[in-house]
Amino acid sequence: MNYGTTEKKALARVDALTAFDHLLAGNEFTLVTDHQPLMYLKTSRTPAKKQLRWRGYIDQFRTKIIYRSGQWNYLADASSRLYTEDKS
């Protein structure tokens, strides 16, 4: 609840990789995101410690990350809304 939108979406990416790491390890794959700031987490000059941990985990995989607007990325938009839904 204390994370901003970019951190929530980055954590969702890490959680998805963790859940499917047994299928993804050793394979090259593409991550499609509807949140453009996620594209710059890897190149940020002053990332927070948690972002460094997440980057280290994501770097274990051979990934290509591309941005696709939510207008054209229906599945990502729906799944991110489910993940960030308020559970109170």
Give the separation between CA 60 and CA 54, rounded to whole angstroms. Answer: 10
Report pTM.
0.68
pLDDT of res. 3 = 83
Residue 39 Cα distances to 23, 36, 85, angstroms:
23, 6, 23
Give the separation between CA 29 and CA 87, rounded to whole angstroms. Answer: 31
Tens digits of residue pLDDT in 12-55? 888 989 999 999 888 998 888 777 777 777 778 888 888 889 88
**Count of CA atoms in the C-beta half-sphere (13 A) of 31:** 21
